[in-house]
Structure 1
Amino acid sequence: MKKLIIAVIAALMPFMTTAQSFEKYENMKDVDAMIVTSKMFKMLAKVDLSDTDPEAKQYIKLIENLDQIRVFTSKDTKVRNQMANDVKSYLQGGSLEQLMRVTEDGKNIKFYSRPGKNDNYVSELFMFMEGNKDGEPISIILSITGQIDLSQLSRLTSDLKVPGAEELKNIENKS
């Protein structure tokens, strides 16, 4: 029994350390971080929007089903290298599928997803961008979790001014 417990813990360790590896960026000096939690989404869902507007209803439905949005951005070379290594480790866990790659304007952007309740939904949308923005090197990690309706996602990220929001429109068009 002891061996079984140790084997299970050893098997789960990569998943636990990977999730923690992104959390470390929250308090780093050379990282801009934005974390939006499910409590914030619930508060946004209570905002008095027109009940007769179907677009507003879809928007509320989208944000009610989100758990968290995490965005980490850095221009520091050392941090950017660390981010690239952590993303590589996270992706080696094998539970994310690549959706698309975009290379343009000095940016290399990769999108991944974890399957959701059906083909129109994902339980996690993950993006990693490396490249240049406004002439400076930059890396961005974006993770959105919950029951995510891909047809509504780009609107939310645009409203929240999330980096990579423009590229998300391409995913919406492919779903």
Structure 2
Amino acid sequence: MNRLVITLLLSLLPILSQSQNFEKYEDMKEVDAMVMTSKMFKMLAKVDLSDNDPEARAYMKLIENLDRIQIYKTSDSKVQNQMASDVKSYLQKNSMDELMRVSEDGKNIKFYSIPGKNDNYVKELFMYLQGTDNDKPMTVILSITGEIDLSQLSKLTSDLKVPGAEELKNVNKKS
């Protein structure tokens, strides 16, 4: 019985440690944070939409299969350095595949993923953005977990107004 409990705890450790890397930023006054959980997505998926709108149905299917969205944004240089260190550690721990890099308009954006059930899906999409916004330094971390359909993802992140979201339109083409 003890072996079973230890095995179960060890198997859950990577899942627990993933979110712990970034949740510490939620309570920092220098960080703008947004975290949406699967309960929110399930609630949104229950919204009664017209069956005549295939785009709305596809959107609902996408969000109903999400587990969590975390977005953290800061302009504070100390927090930016801490985020850079945490991102590096997170990427190493999780052996994520790099999807693409974009450098434009003073922003460096990197996208990573954990493969999903096929080439069109990922278990996690991770974005790390460093750059400037209105001549002010900015760092953004975005993590989306669940069963993520890359072809539908740019619509969701555009609706969330995430910096760097416009680049997600090209992720599916490059993966």
TM-score when normalising by structure 1 = 0.89
Provide the aligned C-alpha RMSD in A: 2.2
1:108 matched to 2:125 = no
Aligned twin of 2:144: 144
Q: Identify the range of structure 1 (49-58 vs 149-158) with the bigger mean alpha-carbon deviation.
A: 49-58
Aligned to 1:91: 91
Instruction: Check 1:53–1:85 CA distance in 2 against 1; reply closer, same or farther (3 A cut).
Output: same
- AA aligned opposite 2:66: L
Name the counterpart of 1:156.
156
Q: Deviations over 1:2-61 (max 9, x none)?
A: 9xx6xx95x987775453120100101100000111111111111121112111111111
1:15–1:89 CA distance, 2 compared to 1 (3 A)? farther
**Cα deviation per residue 1:74-126 (whole Å; 9 max; x = unaligned)?**
00000000000000000111421000000111111100000111110000000
The answer to whether residue 83 in structure 2 is matched with residue 78 in structure 1 is no
Question: Identity percentage over the alignment?
Answer: 68
Contact map agreement 2:100 2:174 (CA 8 A) in 1? no
Letter in structure 1 aligned against 2:128:
F
Partner of 1:166: 166
List, as ranges, runs of 4+ consecutive aligned residues in structure 1 with deviation greater than 6 Å: 11-15
The CA distance in 1 between the partners of 2:20 and 2:64, in whole Å, is 25
Change (3 A) 1:169 1:22: same
Q: How many residues align?
A: 171
Does the C-alpha gap of structure 1 residues 66 and 23 become closer, same or farther in structure 2, counting only changes over 3 Å?
A: same
Q: Residues 15 and 67 of structure 1: is their aligned pair in 2 closer, same or farther, counting only changes over 3 Å?
A: closer
Counterpart residue number, 1:46: 46
Checking the alignment, whether the CA contact within 8 Å between 1:153 and 1:172 is kept in structure 2 is no
Structure 1 residue matching 2:84: 3-state secondary structure: helix
Alpha-carbon spacing, 1:66–1:75, altered in 2? closer, same or farther (3 Å): same
Distance in 1, Cα, partners of 2:127 & 2:157: 12
Give the CA deviation at 1:156: 0.8
2:133 aligned with 1:133: yes
Give the Cα–Cα distance (whole angstroms) in 2 for the partners of residues 118 and 60 of structure 1: 20
Q: Is the 8 A contact 2:120 2:172 kept in 1?
A: no
In 2, the alpha carbon distance for the partners of 1:72 and 1:12 equals 24
